[in-house]
Every structure is written in structure tokens, then in C-alpha cells.
Chain A
Amino acid sequence: MNGDNTTLERLADDPRYRRLVRRRGRLGMVLTGIMLIAYFGFILLVAFDRPFLAQSLAGGATSVGIPIGLGVIMLAIGLTGFYVHRANREFDAEVAAIVAAAEGGVRQ
């Protein structure tokens, strides 16, 4: 597999390749957007509303900022796990099929 131009052009025109790239790209963008909103939402709270983060959560010592901060950490791990799960289950098989088809086309 040298990735020569005929194979590459065949791949680029393959509707399955186009569909895969579109779907995977969209998933990456959506997840990136969620992470950016969550993180910069947190940063903006730190910048503009410190008393909100510092107030007591349930009358005890634990503040509202603790679950929010831990939530951002958990979200980062969760989103990563979700993407890897989707990619391993769906995208890898599709990539393998598309590449095999394109190379088969060259050999014919």
C-alpha cells in the first residue's frame, strides 16, 4: 500500500469515504464544541462570578465550585470515552472496508 495517486483518487471519490469523513468530522466538531463550552463556561464563572462558586453547596463546607470543577474533569473523560467507543465500533470497520475496496480496484 503505497498510497499512489490512483488509489487516493479512487478513495476520495468513494461515497462511503465521503460519508465516513463527514460523519467522523461532525462528531469531532460537536464533541469539541461541548468541551469548549463547558471549559470556558467554567473559566467565565471563575472570572466573573466567584461568589457563586464559593457559596456553600448544602450548608456544609463543600462549595458549589467543587462539583462543577469535578464535573468538568468527568465530562472530559466521558467525552473521550464516547469518541473512542464510537470510533472503535463503527469507524475502524468502515475505514478497513473502504481501503480494501480501493486497493482491490487497483489490482483489477
Chain B
Amino acid sequence: MSGGTGWPALAMFAAFVLLTLGITRWAARRTRTADDFYAAGGGITGFQNGLAIAGDFMSAASFLGISAQIFADGYDGLIYSIGFLVGWPIVLFLMAERLRNLGRYTFADVASFRFAQTPVRMLAALSTLMVVLFYLIAQMVGAGQLIRLLFGLPYPYAVAIVGVMMTLYVLFGGMLATTWVQIVKAVLLLGAASFMAAAVLWQFGSPEALFASAVEAKTNSAIAGGAAPAAAADTGRAIMGPGGFIKDPVSAISLGLALMFGTAGLPHILMRFFTVPDAKAARTSVLWATGWIGYFYLLTFIIGFGAIVLVGTDPGYLDPAGALRGGGNMAAVHLAHAVGGDLFLGFVSAVAFATILAVVAGLTLSGASAVSHDLYASVFRRGRADQAAELRVSRITVLVLALVAIVLGVLFETQNVAFMVSLAFAIAASANFPVLLLSILWRGCTTRGVVAGGAVGLTLALGLTVLSPAIWVAVLGHAEAVFPYGSPAIFSMPAAFVTIWIVSLLDRSGRAAVDRGGYLAQRVRSETGIGASGASGH
């Protein structure tokens, strides 16, 4: 186990790479038009898309990160899982069908439907690139560390391999290949996690027995660490309730807002609603996604507690200092070895790698479409670009994004990446969600309103994060944070809503009359889908 996982992992890894490259080759032959490239031709079914959405969501941060957090702190991991899940009903009740009925490739299509195209698309593209960039860096750093641990490769090579693989998928296979890689990976990941959770429950007989063993294991390790018996018992019990993860009520609510509403504003997730043929399929895909993601988080919970007992008490998985070999994120990977041996360890490692690749590919495609569809075709060429030129710009953007991701992934190697993911969610909740929601549901909304509100949300989310402890203290080395809370959403999200509302109300420009006049047509189309046939232009 030193330095790498040996030939089973390598064999599984090679098999997966061949399989996904095969999918990409198949998809490349079917990718001719912009519709194929951005939206998989609109021919993905609700069930398939549900799996692909679940795949986008079950990222390495979810699988390795949440099980690692449960391994370390117990119940706290569940708070994250719940926050990631509860955004989905909101997306369904308020947005999914309307997104499908109004949009073609990107969420900016929806946000700018009745507004002046240039400013709204520029803002949407900017916030898309911000979200994609932070999410991408977090995934690249996670991927680099995982591959370095699994295969013993130097970190920069590991990051470069991820970058090159993802570029191949997106460049040649577009959304069709990205979607199918995502589906294959979701099925493999759900299967592997189901097996691990079942093996853990089989061994303990019941969840109660599992929890009792976990409390005992934590108590024993506290005693071994020199704690008095009473204090050790408290330490053991602490994993069954909320702990130090959330420090104060404001941070708790703020993180809750960012997690819940960030989901409804993540560009690479919203893009998935344009790969299905109609509103009904959009609806079905959210139901499947919610079911799979919820099931997956239940599994992760069992896996995390199983790891506390089966991995945390086994010296074979610990280094001499008593910490987990290869770092905290490896809890689930070690558990795979504990319940399934070398071959299953190889399988889970390959799936974990595939997870990162697929999520990174989806993110890159979303960033590329913001540049080529929103900036180049709609703003720069004012809708007069031909498809070939638009696709060329998109592919160049993919290359540039991959290069940027590799460089930043290497530069950020030692950074704590958790704040980048939470920042991505905070930006999505503060800049994208208010713009989308009010432009769809409020007649009085105007171009000036959404541009001002979106800009305020984006700026505040970024600015407050820089001033928060995660950057101001931990990265920049100041003694005390200017903004004391962990997440900016509780301030930046309401600020965006209020700005859109006030600026729209005060807007007396000629454009505002056009914006409000366009609401009826947009509303009827968003409610009925009339005129929104999949592959036709608008």
C-alpha cells in the first residue's frame, strides 16, 4: 500500500479510461451541430438525465469529502448532505420546467429571454466563469491529491493527466460524451457505495449497533490519546450530534442558504435541463436525480460511520502518528479495502477518479458554452455567428480552460479547497438564482434591475469571502477577519434580490417598457412550452 495501490487499481483505471474513450469516440461521430455539442441533441431521456444530474452532484467532494467529514466528526457530515439535497425540490417546483421551455443551451438564454441581450449575457457569462473556475480548481486539487496517493504519481503529473483526459471528452464528444460518461460513472459509483454500505450494515446487524461501535471506537481512541474516562465518553458521544462544524447561528443559516439556493444557480447543473426533449422529461429528471442523490447520501452516512470503526481502529490504515494514511479524504477508499480487498479497492479508486473527470468535464463544457454561446455568438456577433464558428470558439475555450485549470490546480496544491466549493455555491445563490427567479416570475423585472442585482450579488459574494476568515486570516495572514462569518450568502443573496427589485421599480427607461411588455409572451411559453420545441431556434 505504500505510494500506490498496485496492479488491481491500475487495471481498473485502464479499463475505465478505455471505456470512456470509447464513449467519446462514439459520441464524436454523432456530434455535428451546436445542438449536439451543447445539449446532446436534446435527446436524453428523463431517467438518463436524472442519473447524469446525480453524477454531476456526486462529485469527489461529495463522496470522499462527506464520508471523510463523517469519519472525522460524525453527525456534522449529514448537515452538508442535507443542504446539498434540499435545493432539488426548489429547482423542480419553481424552475425546471420553465428552464426547459425557455432555454436552449445556457441559463443565460432564460435570464435574458425578454431583456437586452448584451448586458444580461455578459453578466451571466461572467458569473458562470467565476462559479466554474472555483469549482474546477477544487476538483483539480482533489483529483491531483487522489491520483498522487493512489498511483504514486507526482502531483503536477496527476493534475495534468486529469486536464488532458477531460479535454479529450469535451473537445471531441461534447455534451453527448460528457453526459454518457456521467451516467456510466453514476451507475458505477452508486453500485460501489451500495456494496460498501451493505457490507458495513451486514457486519454490524443494525444501524444502532453500528453507531454504538462508532461511539465506542471514538471513546477508546480518546482514552488512548490520554483523555480522562468521562471526557473520553463525551468525545465519543459527540459524533452523534452537531459539533464544531458550524460555529454560530448566522454562519449556520448563511451556509444553509448558499447550499440550498446555490444548487438552483449552478451553471453546469442548469445546463442539463437543455439536454432533454421537453418539460415533462425535465421534471422526471429532477425526480430521479433527487432520489439517487438522497439515496447516495444515506449510503455515504453509513460508509462514514463504518469507516470510523473498520478503518479508524485498524493500525494497517493508520500512519505511526495515528492519522489516516494518505490524508483524511481517503476514509472511503480505505473502507473499500477493508470490506472488499485489493480488487474492490482498485474498483473504488477508478470510480473515484472517474467521478472527478466527469464533473470536471461538465464544468468545462459549461464554461465553454458561456464564452462561445453567450459572449461570442450572442454578444460579440449579435446572433449572426454561424454554427461552425461558434463551435470553433467553444473548442478553443475548452483548451484555454483546461490549461488554466491545470496551472491553477498546481498553484493551489496546498490550499484548503473547501472554501472554493462553498464560494462557488455562494456565487451561484447570490448572482444566478435571484436573476433567474425574478426574470421568470416577476413581470416588473427589467434589464437594468437584473444587471444591477446580479452584479451586486456577484461582487458581495466574492468580496465578503475575501474578507472572511477562510481567506483574510488563513490565506492572507491577517490577525482578525473583517467579515466574521463562514459564508456570505445571508447578506449577498438578499442584497441581490432587493437591488433587482428597487432598480426595476425605479427604471423608467424605454428598455424597461419593452422588458415588461415581453413578460406575457415569456410567461405563456414558460408555462405551456408553446414554441419551445427542442432543437428549433428561437
Which chain A residues border B137 with CB–CB below 8 Å?
A: none
Which chain B residues border A81 with CB–CB below 8 Å?
A: 287, 291
Cβ B241 vs Cβ A20 within 8 A: no
Cβ A80 vs Cβ B89 within 8 A: yes
* B124 proximal to A (CB < 8 A): no
* B135 proximal to A (CB < 8 A): no
Cβ A80 vs Cβ B286 within 8 A: yes
Known: A40-B256, A43-B253, A62-B208. A73 touches B79 (CB 8 A): no
| Interchain CA distance A79-B91 in the complex, whole Å | 12
Instruction: Digitize A12-55: 1 where CB-to-B-CB distance is under 8 Å, 0 elsewhere.
Output: 10000100110010011101100110111011101110110111
Which chain B residues border A21 with CB–CB below 8 Å?
A: 523, 527
| Interchain CA distance A61-B239 in the complex, whole Å | 10
Instruction: Digitize B72-93: 1 where CB-to-A-CB distance is under 8 Å, 0 elsewhere.
Output: 0001001101110110111011
* B298 proximal to A (CB < 8 A): yes
Instruction: Digitize A43-85: 1 where CB-to-B-CB distance is under 8 Å, 0 elsewhere.
Output: 1101110110111100011110110011011101101110110
Cβ A76 vs Cβ B85 within 8 A: yes
Known: A1-B530, A32-B94. A61 touches B212 (CB 8 A): yes
Cβ B253 vs Cβ A47 within 8 A: yes
Known: A72-B86, A73-B294. A84 touches B284 (CB 8 A): yes
| Interchain CA distance A63-B529 in the complex, whole Å | 47
* B248 proximal to A (CB < 8 A): yes
Instruction: Digitize A93-107: 1 where CB-to-B-CB distance is under 8 Å, 0 elsewhere.
Output: 001001100100000
Known: A8-B524, A63-B75, A79-B89. A42 touches B82 (CB 8 A): yes
| Interchain CA distance A73-B79 in the complex, whole Å | 11
The closest CB in chain B to the CB of A34 belongs to B89
Cβ A2 vs Cβ B524 within 8 A: no
Known: A77-B291, A95-B529. A39 touches B82 (CB 8 A): yes
* B237 proximal to A (CB < 8 A): yes
* B180 proximal to A (CB < 8 A): no
Cβ A83 vs Cβ B241 within 8 A: no
* B126 proximal to A (CB < 8 A): no
Which chain A residues border B90 with CB–CB below 8 Å?
A: 32, 35-36
Interface residues on A, range: 35 or more
Known: A53-B75, A61-B211, A62-B207. A8 touches B530 (CB 8 A): yes
Which chain A residues border B94 with CB–CB below 8 Å?
A: 28, 32
Cβ B253 vs Cβ A40 within 8 A: yes
Instruction: Digitize B308-322: 1 where CB-to-A-CB distance is under 8 Å, 0 elsewhere.
Output: 000000000000000
Interface centre among A32, A51, A56, A76 (most CB of B within 10 A): A76
The closest CB in chain A to the CB of B246 belongs to A46
Distance to closest chain B CB from A103 (angstroms): 8
What is the size, in residues, of chain B's interface with A at 8 Å between Cβ atoms?
56
Cβ A72 vs Cβ B242 within 8 A: no
Known: A46-B242, A62-B207. A99 touches B528 (CB 8 A): yes
* B473 proximal to A (CB < 8 A): no
Cβ B241 vs Cβ A39 within 8 A: no
| Interchain CA distance A32-B92 in the complex, whole Å | 9
Cβ A54 vs Cβ B237 within 8 A: yes
The closest CB in chain A to the CB of B297 belongs to A73
Cβ B253 vs Cβ A44 within 8 A: yes
The closest CB in chain B to the CB of A52 belongs to B241
Known: A8-B521, A60-B212. A99 touches B530 (CB 8 A): yes
Known: A61-B208, A62-B207. A76 touches B290 (CB 8 A): yes
| Interchain CA distance A9-B54 in the complex, whole Å | 39
Instruction: Digitize B274-310: 1 where CB-to-A-CB distance is under 8 Å, 0 elsewhere.
Output: 0000001001101100110010011000000000000
Cβ B256 vs Cβ A43 within 8 A: yes
* B165 proximal to A (CB < 8 A): no
The closest CB in chain A to the CB of B290 belongs to A80
Known: A50-B241, A99-B530. A83 touches B93 (CB 8 A): yes
Which chain B residues border A61 with CB–CB below 8 Å?
A: 208, 211-212, 214-215, 240
The closest CB in chain A to the CB of B284 belongs to A84
Cβ A35 vs Cβ B89 within 8 A: yes
Cβ A53 vs Cβ B208 within 8 A: no
| Interchain CA distance A23-B283 in the complex, whole Å | 17
Cβ B241 vs Cβ A53 within 8 A: yes
| Interchain CA distance A83-B287 in the complex, whole Å | 9
| Interchain CA distance A100-B252 in the complex, whole Å | 49
Which chain B residues border A9 with CB–CB below 8 Å?
A: 520
Give 15 CB contacts A-B under 8 Å: A1-B530, A8-B525, A8-B530, A11-B528, A28-B93, A32-B90, A35-B93, A40-B256, A46-B242, A54-B242, A63-B75, A63-B241, A73-B298, A76-B89, A76-B290
Q: Which residues of B contact A (CB under 8 A)?
A: 75, 78-79, 81-83, 85-86, 88-90, 92-94, 97, 207-208, 211-212, 214-215, 237-238, 240-243, 246, 248-249, 252-253, 256, 260, 280, 283-284, 286-287, 290-291, 294, 297-298, 520-521, 523-525, 527-533
Apart from the given pairs A3-B524, A8-B520, A79-B89, 6 other A-B contacts in the complex at a CB distance below 8 Å: A29-B93, A44-B253, A54-B240, A63-B240, A65-B75, A66-B75
